[in-house]
Structure 1
Amino acid sequence: MKGAPGGGAPGGGRHDGRYGEAVFRPEQAGEGTRIDFGALAYDDITLARLRELGAGPGWRCLDVGAGTGTVSRRLLEEAGVTSVLAVDRDVRFLEAPPVPGLDVLAADISAPSFAPGRFRLVHARFVLMHLPERDRLITALAELVEPGGVLVLSDAIDLTSGRTPDTPYSMTMRAMWEGLRATIGTDVSWVPAYPRLLRGAGLGSVAAEVHVPPLLPGSPISRFWADTWERSRAAMVATGLVDDTDVDAAIRYLDADECAALSAGMLTAWGRKPASGPAAAPA
């Protein structure tokens, strides 16, 4: 569950850091394991959707912000796609083990020079929420989809609200979003606009769905949040919404039988590039 880091602040906000630098540094011990906990929580849902959209033999795929490469490898090994180009700003988790058909590219997708070609499938999960200029990036990713192909975007949606009781869990989750926004520019408030943005990028057959993994003691998603809070603790405490005692209580709650809360959800939206452009006007 790793997004490609980006600079600049969404929504006019200000921040000084980038994903992978200010927080979630890939060189920090255990960061690959944290990413894999997210993958265990979401990969089955992601693969089912990609296969439902047709991913299979003959497809060339682009996996943006590929993290530890679990989706890329499963596309090759289970869906049987022809090839996957796995892209991340830091590719240390993608270099082994080698898989036939898997190519790895270290790149920043927000760079104007990013142009790896055209693909039947372009997929990005938990990436754009960390990046500015989202409208431009969605349009740029749509341009990488070949006619008849699909763009699939997944990002987090926050299910806490003003009506959610103030528990250590809910306060810690709110502090996480606020702390990440202030530190690296993460913003999930716009994610429900995905379908409209895909349509605006010229794609058709646009649809979306939401998956909320259950918070169960010892589950991958519970362990993911516990690790995420530990690694972003300083940013969370800096918001003033929680202190270390609150964060510790929330982590204990995730592993308790009395845990009764909603995880953040994953919204997945997709759209298909028209198979052919409009008919040319007569000369």
Structure 2
Amino acid sequence: MTTTFETERYGDRLFAASHRDENERLECLAGTFDPVSAENLLALGLDARWTALDVGAGSGSLSAWLASVAASPDQVTAVDRDTRFLTPLAAEGVRVVEADITDPAFHPGRYDLVHARFVLMHLRDRDEVLRRLASWVKPGGLLVLSDALAAGGETSPHEAYRRTITAYWRMLAETIGSDRHCVAQYPRALTELGLRDIGLHTHLPVVGLHDAFSRFLALTLDQSRGRLLGAGLPEAAYDEAVKHLNDPSAREVFFAMATCWGRTPVLP
């Protein structure tokens, strides 16, 4: 029997900011990938003069880092649909905006850097939003997009983990519209939008070797448990997968963060 999930948007119910563990889950994600994002941005030439828009700022950790690099924190704008975790940034001078980036009426201005991490993959209208993100980049500025690229979980030799991760990605696609492979199309998409100096970088953490990422996966599966079991994943398989992931000797992968960037042309 095929289960039909009720559709919603990321954060409506699944991974809602109001969930007791959501801030910790986002902080674990940030703890895993912030150093990589920072290294990429510095390598691309980020300096104190830049203005930056951090789209889907989440816990605010990367926005805070951008503000630490900028000459003044008000050069950084952090935008999210729910900004409850961004209040400390506002107190430090970062411009915090609560807005829906899919709303055609939302126009935040133009920036030297527009950055979005783990955002587009969860939007059904990601192609249109990508075009809008590019329109917010100043001439000569950078658009930097990072998303998950599913790797290994669906082919793991551990049956329970494989079944659980396969069920998870299917649930996410049908419920939210998430695409676990769309980032692979970003180099082509940015080229078609007229951006130049296209590049791509990937980072693949390993569950069992990276504690923050292991905790992120545990919290992600915990929030997804009811939906996965309701869709037909046997409880025994879910429990065995969680037990396996709690084993310090487990060595599994879940997804890589793929980061794609491009520079807008300089006007003549």
Give the match for residue 169 of structure 2.
177
**Alignment partner, residue 49 of structure 1:** 40
Equivalent in 68, 74, 89 of residue 65 of structure 2:
74
Alignment-mate amino acid for residue 250 of structure 1? A
TM-superposed deviation, 1:218:
7.2
Deviation at 1:228, TM superposition (A): 0.3
What SS does the aligned partner of 2:88 have? coil
Provide closer, same or farther for how the CA distance between residues 44 and 249 of structure 1 changes in structure 2, counting only shifts above 3 A.
Answer: same
Instruction: After TM superposition, list the pairs within 5 Å mapping 1:39-188 onto structure 2.
Output: 39-77=30-68, 79-80=69-70, 82=72, 83-96=75-88, 98=90, 100-160=92-152, 163-165=155-157, 167-188=159-180
* CA shift for structure 1 position 176: 1.0
Task: Identify the match of residue 243 of structure 1 among 213, 234, 238.
Answer: 234
The counterpart of 1:264, out of the listed 240, 255, 263, is 255
Question: Is this contact kept in 1: 2:148–2:256, CA < 8 A?
Answer: yes
The CA distance in 1 between the partners of 2:258 and 2:71, in whole Å, is: 24
Residues in 2 aligned to 1:159 and 1:149: alpha-carbon distance in whole angstroms: 31
Name the SS for the 2:236 alignment partner: helix
2-structure distance, mates of 1:248, 1:195: 39
1:230 maps to amino acid: D
Residue 151 of structure 1 and its aligned partner are, at CA, apart by 0.2
- Residues of 1 paired with 2:194 and 2:71: CA distance? 25
The SS at the match of 2:52 is: strand
Which of 20, 25, 29 is matched with 1:34 structurally? 25
| SS of alignment partner, residue 163 of structure 2 | helix
Aligned amino acid, residue 14 of structure 2: V
- Paired residues of 1:15 and 1:185 also in contact (CA < 8 A): no
Give the deviation of 1:86 after TM superposition: 0.2
Q: Deviations over 1:26-64 (max 9, x none)?
A: 111121011100000000000111111111211110000
Q: Which runs of 5+ in 1 are unaligned?
A: 1-12, 278-283
Paired with 2:136 and 2:71, the residues of 1 have a C-alpha distance of 17
Secondary structure in 2 aligned to 1:199?
helix
* 8 Å CA contact 1:26, 1:90 repeated in 2: yes
Cα contact 1:128–1:134 (8 A) shared by 2: yes
Given that residues 153 and 165 in structure 2 are in contact (C-alpha distance below 8 angstroms), is that contact kept between their aligned partners in structure 1? no
Opposite residue 176 of structure 1, the aligned amino acid is: Y
Cα distance change on mapping 1:45 and 1:224 into 2, 3 Å: same
Distance 1:84 1:101 in 2: 9
* Paired position in structure 2 for 1:6: none
Q: Match of 1:280?
A: none
Given that 2:54 and 2:77 are in contact with CA atoms closer than 8 Å, whether structure 1 keeps it comes out as yes
1:227 corresponds to: 219
Which one has a larger percent helix, Structure 1 or Structure 2?
2
> Which residue of structure 1 lines up, in the alignment, with residue 266 of structure 2?
275
**Could you tell me whether the CA contact under 8 Å between 1:178 and 1:236 is conserved in 2?**
no
**Cα-to-partner distance string for 1:223-251 (whole Å, 9 max, x where unaligned):** 000000010112222333x2222222222
TM-score normalised to structure 1 length:
0.87
* Deviation digits for residues 129-187 of structure 1 (CA, Å, limit 9, x no counterpart): 11012221111100100011100000001113775435222221111111111211111
Distance 1:99 1:168 in 2: 45
Which whole-Å CA distance do the structure 2 matches of 1:101 and 1:200 have between them? Answer: 36
Q: What percentage of aligned pairs have identical amino acids?
A: 38
Equivalent residue letter for 1:80: A
Conserved? CA contact 2:153–2:252, under 8 Å:
no
Aligned 8 A contact 1:217 1:256 in 2 = no
What letter corresponds to residue 44 of structure 2 in structure 1? L
CA change 1:55–1:107 in 2 (3 A) is same
**1:203 corresponds to:** 195
Q: Which SS does the other structure have where 2:95 is aligned?
A: strand
Question: Quick check: 1:15–1:181 contact (8 Å CA) kept in 2?
Answer: no
CA distance in 2, matches of 1:14, 1:244: 18
Stretches of structure 2 lacking an aligned partner (at least 5 in a row): none
